Amino acid sequence: MIILTGGAGFIGSCFLWKLNQQGIYDIIVVDNPDSPIKDKNLLGKRYLEYIPKDDFLRILESGKITGINKIIHMGACSSTILDDADYYLKNNYEYSKRLAAWAVTQNVHFIYASSAATYGDGSIGYDDAESLIPSLKPLNMYGNSKQLFDLWALENNYLKVFTGLKFFNVFGPNEYHKEEMMSVICKRFKDLKEGKPMRLFKSYRSGYEDGGQKRDFIYVKDAIEVMYYFYNNPQKAGIFNLGTGIARSWNDLALAMFSALGIKPAIEYIDMPDQIKGQYQYYTQAKMDKLRQADCDYKFTPLEEAVKDYCGYLKDKSHL
């Protein structure tokens, strides 16, 4: 039996779809029932039980849940703009520690979501070597909460048995509930269909043209395939980057959307809000050597193909 936290969220619900596709239904879904839009991510999917996040740890630690052999911990606050350090600490760090500690005592395979936000400004690169974890300096509270858990796992030698995944810029179906944290593709799809221009941030750093800031964009369909690889290979413990290893610009992303929609490109560059100027990442690119050394040879979908596929879902807000 499997526990899947964040199972109604973006990546979690897509992974639930993947498990169902493989004939796996003995799943306890844990999430925060706070959004009717998010609830749609569960429609048509099979699982044993849905437990609200606030009740789950109490029920688990009371011994009422037995027979668990895997925990996939996707549940967390993924907002990078929330200004509440205490909430991040309790929700992303303390909650994760309690769940992970339980997994250790029960000898349960633990897969968890870290983040590329832990790399901060990228000044020391995007290498997922565990020896470099203490040197990382995230730029925001979200990244810091993920960094704290990575450090805790490292200091307790749990990365010898846990699988941590540093997700880069994931986009795809089932992110409709994420509001400001939705991908640009999801946010701007309706505007582009209505003939409005794509809006991208201006650049405030030399060497980067407006819209030329780069990200390692990864399609959620690819992300869940790599997750499933580690699901089936619990001996491949450690922390791993989950990007594509290829940085592409926001302009590239925009042009891929225009091409997918058959629309003439029109891009408007707008001022970056002061709130995020100081914590904005101008470049991310996952180093993928460690994933390949773990014998995961999955071939990632090129950006243009992924965007085209996703636009098919956005047309009527369909789900995985």
Domains within the chain, CATH numbers bracketed: 2-171+217-244+285-300 (3.40.50.720)
Predicted local confidence at residue 81, as pLDDT: 65
Which residues does the annotation mark as catalytic?
142, 178
What is the reported pTM?
A: 0.96
Residue with tokens 């668990």: 68
Which tokens hold the place of 297? 């040879």
Tokens of 266: 């029109």
Low-confidence ranges of the chain (pLDDT < 50): none
41 burial type by CB count under 10 A (0-12 exposed, 13-18 middle, 19+ buried):
buried
Residue 114, C-beta contacts closer than 8 angstroms, at least 6 positions apart: 146, 149, 150, 164, 165, 166, 167, 239
Widest distance between CA atoms in the chain: 59
Per-residue confidence (pLDDT) for residue 309, from 0 to 100: 98
Residue 85 pLDDT: 80
**Residue 233 burial (CB count, 10 A):** 14
Residue 146: per-residue pLDDT? 95
